[in-house]
Amino acid sequence: MNIHEYQAKQIFAKYGVPAPRGFIANTPAQALKNAQELGGKVWVVKAQIHAGGRGLGGGVKIVHSLSDVKKAATELLGMTLVTHQTGPEGKLVRKVYVEEGIKIVDELYLSIVLDRAIEMPIILALKEGGVDIETVAAKSPEKIIKIPIDPDFGYQGYQGRELVFALGIKDKREQYKLQNFVKALYNLYIENDVQMVEINPLVKTKTGSFLALDAKLQFDDSAMARHPEFEEMRDIHEENADEREASLYGLSYISLEGEIGCMVNGAGLAMGTMDTINYMGGNPANFLDVGGNANPEAVAKGFEIILRNKNVKAIFINIFGGIVRCDRIANGIIEATKTVEVNVPVVVRLDGTNAIEAADILRHANIDNIITATDLADGAKKAVEAANNSQGKK
Active-site residue, selected from the candidate residues 6, 97, 109, 186:
109
- Alpha carbon distance 77, 94 (integer Å): 6
Spans of all domains in the chain? 1-19+103-237, 21-101, 240-393
At 365, phi and psi to the nearest 5?
-80, -20
For domain 240-393, the CATH superfamily is: Succinyl-CoA synthetase domains (3.40.50.261)
pLDDT in tens, the chain (394 residues): 899 999 999 999 999 999 999 999 999 999 999 999 999 999 999 999 998 889 888 999 999 999 999 999 999 999 999 988 887 889 999 999 999 999 999 999 999 999 999 999 999 999 988 788 888 888 888 999 999 999 999 999 999 999 999 999 999 999 999 999 999 999 999 999 999 999 999 999 999 999 999 999 999 888 888 998 898 898 888 777 788 878 877 788 998 989 999 999 888 999 999 999 999 999 999 999 887 656 677 788 888 899 888 899 999 999 887 777 888 888 888 887 887 788 899 999 988 888 888 888 888 887 778 898 989 999 999 999 999 987 655 4
Q: In the annotation, is 198 catalytic?
A: yes
At 79, phi and psi to the nearest 5?
-80, 155
At 124, phi and psi to the nearest 5?
-115, 135
For domain 21-101, give the fold: Dna Ligase; domain 1 (3.30.1490)
| Tally of CB atoms within 10 A around 140 | 11
Residue 322: per-residue pLDDT: 75
Q: Angle formed by the axes of helices 28-38 and 66-76, to 10°?
A: 140
**Pairing mode, if any, of strands 216-219 and 252-255?**
unpaired
Domains 1-19+103-237 and 240-393 share a fold: no
- Alpha carbon distance 113, 57 (integer Å): 25
Residue 338: per-residue pLDDT: 81
Residue 170: per-residue pLDDT: 93
Give the Å distances, CA to CA, from 232 to 169, 220, 228, 236: 39, 15, 8, 10
Active-site residue, selected from the candidate residues 5, 198, 259, 304:
198
Which amino acid is located at 70 in the chain? K
Sorted by sequence, the CB contacts under 8 Å of residue 44 that are 6+ apart come out as: 20, 22, 60, 61, 62, 63, 98, 99, 100, 101
Which amino acid is located at 318 in the chain? N
Sorted by sequence, the CB contacts under 8 Å of residue 31 that are 6+ apart come out as: 25, 45, 69, 70, 72, 73, 96, 98
Q: In the annotation, is 109 catalytic?
A: yes
| Tally of CB atoms within 10 A around 146 | 12
Residue 394: per-residue pLDDT: 47
For domain 1-19+103-237, give the fold: D-amino Acid Aminotransferase; Chain A, domain 1 (3.30.470)
Residue 382: per-residue pLDDT: 95
**pTM of the predicted structure, to 2 decimals:** 0.77
Residue 178: per-residue pLDDT: 96
β-strand partners of 146? 124
Which amino acid is located at 93 in the chain? V
CA angle 111–87–70, rounded 5-degree value: 80
Query: 201 preceded by cis ω (within 30°)?
Result: yes
